[in-house]
Amino acid sequence: MLKKARQILKQYFGYSSFKSGQDKILNNILQGKDTLGIMPTGGGKSICYQIPALMFQGTTLVISPLISLMKDQVDALNSLGIAATFINSSLDSDEVEKRIFDSGHGKYKLLYVAPERLESKRFINSIKSLSISMLAVDEAHCVSQWGHDFRPSYLAINTVVKELDKRPVVTAFTATATEEVTQDIVRLLSLKTPKIYVAGFNRENLSFTVIRGENKKDFISDYLARNKGQAGVIYAATRKEVDNLEHWLQRKGYAVGKYHAGLNDDERIRNQEKFIYDDLQIMVATNAFGMGIDKSNVRYVIHYNMPKNMEAYYQEAGRAGRDGEPSQCILLFSSQDVQIQKFLIEQNQVPVERKVNEYKKLQAMVDYCHTTHCLRGTILKYFGEENVPKECGNCSNCNDYNELVDRTVESQKIFSCILRMQEQYGVSLVANVLKGSQNKKVIQNGFNRLSTYGLMKEYTTKEISDLIHILIAEGYIYLTEGQYPVAKLQPKAIPVLKGKEKVLQKVRKKESIKEADNS
Ligand code: ADP
Ligand code: ZN
């Protein structure tokens, strides 16, 4: 069957091989099994239902929320010689009836419909006359309130499936890979023992770098001097920060523009266009920038502040290198960024369980900034990709952190200090106790009498808390969710405490730091 699919891929779409994951998804759908395909934007989701639609008997109903794009999508298919049409509110009822009738008589293989249609009893009755072999739900995250684009009418999809005499194969596609959304899609669309495929998240031409504990402006200054004439985006957390950075770079003589929600429409559009047409080299922006922009030659995306979660980070960083050329994604981390994000979570008027969820996601982002494992691997694992390389050779951890250092003794000191403090306190207080600080909170709680007090006094408090954050990122310690997270030990820490296992950590080789300084 896959052979036939490959033939169609070549014949209609002109491609000779499948993109990552397409073959597995197709294979599953062609066996008549419900399927959920999770792929990033541009990953090639459409072909995953268009090819089966051509191979199945009868009609495939495609649910798509992008009403404004529906006509374009269908026109594009028609130009490839694929029989498709659409039904949405731009058509009068005669035309709607005609298109349904024609579908029933084999004129169309694909029928695109807006989700709102499914709420109409009349529409459901008229499509009952069709032989619908498959229902493909595009942008399936719209069914979930956890997603970023909840559409109540998506909830009607389930009803339609139940009303049809013969249950079609139900397939769903989205770029959102979070657990809550995935579970909602399966549940709310009543997918029957579905296979879930996560694919295409790896972008090989992107390199990933995390910079911690360096002066951010110095870094940018050096970086831009080394990358003159290259187009890039610098994301910052707040409008004020964007204004400051833009002003600063302007004074340095760069062709720089800015983009954030505080500017008026004209300004925003003008700046965006200038950037797209290469009249501006650098765009400094908040996360408001990027929706729907498609500039292919962005050579770097620098995050001046850490974003709120991995989804946001990967989407923004992923705006680099759309042309497939080598491009860099650099995140400049400072612990203040975590404070900013916590503040923003607290400001949100959302139910408690939502906040807990946001804190969890924030922690995964913080972990990314501290892990010593492969950054690409960390990203792909987060999104649930199956084939994750242990080392990619194209991220700062693979390239620069190449010396193994034994951190067992330091880790034991940290773990036992956390235990002595009854697993009731946050990272900075633990670090202060280990440092032997005279900090008021340390003294008030009597932690200066603990046996672990001052046990790491030869380190700075920052070095100790950095090490704790690395141990969190690597799963030895976990932080409770909330505004004031508390450090507790994970089971993985116990054999280390008992001296049965070592903690080996990759660190930056001295030379690679020098190299970076010189370049
Ligand atoms: P998505 O819906 O996941 O954002 P699309 O289905 O629009 O992605 O596909 C993104 C692009 O990749 C389109 O230009 C499409 O033609 C192209 N594409 C899809 N499958 C393949 C393939 N097997 N080989 C090459 N290009 C492909
Ligand atoms: Zn790597």
| pLDDT tens column, 21-44 | 999 999 999 999 999 999 988 889
Q: Is the pLDDT of residue 454 over 90?
A: yes
* Band of residue 513 on the pLDDT scale cut at 50, 70, 90: very low
Q: Is 19 in the pocket of ligand 1 (CB under 6 A)?
A: yes
Q: Which residues contact 104 (CB under 8 A, 6 or more apart)?
A: 59, 129, 130, 131
Q: What integer is the mean pLDDT of 12-28?
A: 94
Q: How far apart are CA 4 and CA 101, in angstroms?
A: 29
Q: Is the pLDDT of residue 304 over 90?
A: yes
> 295 or 37: which carries more pLDDT confidence?
37
| pLDDT tens column, 150-193 | 999 999 999 999 999 999 999 999 988 888 899 999 999 999 99
342 CA distance to ligand 1 centroid (A)?
37
Q: What integer is the mean pLDDT of 332-351?
A: 90
37 CA distance to ligand 2 centroid (A)?
25
Q: Is 322 in the pocket of ligand 1 (CB under 6 A)?
A: no
Pick the closest to residue 258 from 230, 237, 286 (CA basis).
Answer: 286
User: 180-204 burial, b for 16+ CB within 10 Å, e for fewer?
Assistant: bbbebbbebbebeebbbbbbbbbbe
Q: What's the pLDDT score for residue 515?
A: 40
Q: What's the pLDDT score for residue 519?
A: 36
Q: Is the pLDDT of residue 511 over 50?
A: no
Closest atom of ligand 1 relative to the 39 alpha carbon: 3
Q: What integer is the mean pLDDT of 316-326?
A: 93
Closest atom of ligand 1 relative to the 46 alpha carbon: 6
Q: Is the pLDDT of residue 502 over 50?
A: yes
Q: How far apart are CA 342 and CA 365, in angstroms?
A: 12
Q: What's the pLDDT score for residue 20?
A: 86
Q: What's the pLDDT score for residue 424?
A: 96
30 CA distance to ligand 1 centroid (A)?
19
Q: Which residues surround ligand 2, an ion (CB under 5 A)?
A: 374, 376, 392, 395, 398
Nearest CA to ligand 1 atom 25: 15
| % of residues, the chain, pLDDT over 90 | 78
Q: What integer is the mean pLDDT of 345-360?
A: 88
SS3 of residue 171 by DSSP: strand
Tokens 């010689």 belong to which residue? Answer: 81
Q: Is 50 in the pocket of ligand 1 (CB under 6 A)?
A: no
Q: For residue 10, which ligand has an atom nearest its CA?
A: 1
| pLDDT tens column, 264-281 | 999 999 999 999 999 999
Choose the residue to mutate in 13, 20, 36 for probing ligand 1, maximizing ligand atoms within 8 Å of C-beta. 13
Q: Is 411 in the pocket of ligand 1 (CB under 6 A)?
A: no
Closest atom of ligand 1 relative to the 9 alpha carbon: 23
Q: What's the pLDDT score for residue 214?
A: 83
| pLDDT tens column, 63-119 | 998 887 899 999 999 999 999 999 988 899 999 999 999 999 999 999 999 999 999
- Please state whether beta strands 487-489 and 477-479 pair in parallel, antiparallel, or not at all (unpaired): antiparallel
* Band of residue 320 on the pLDDT scale cut at 50, 70, 90: very high
Number of residues that make up the chain = 519
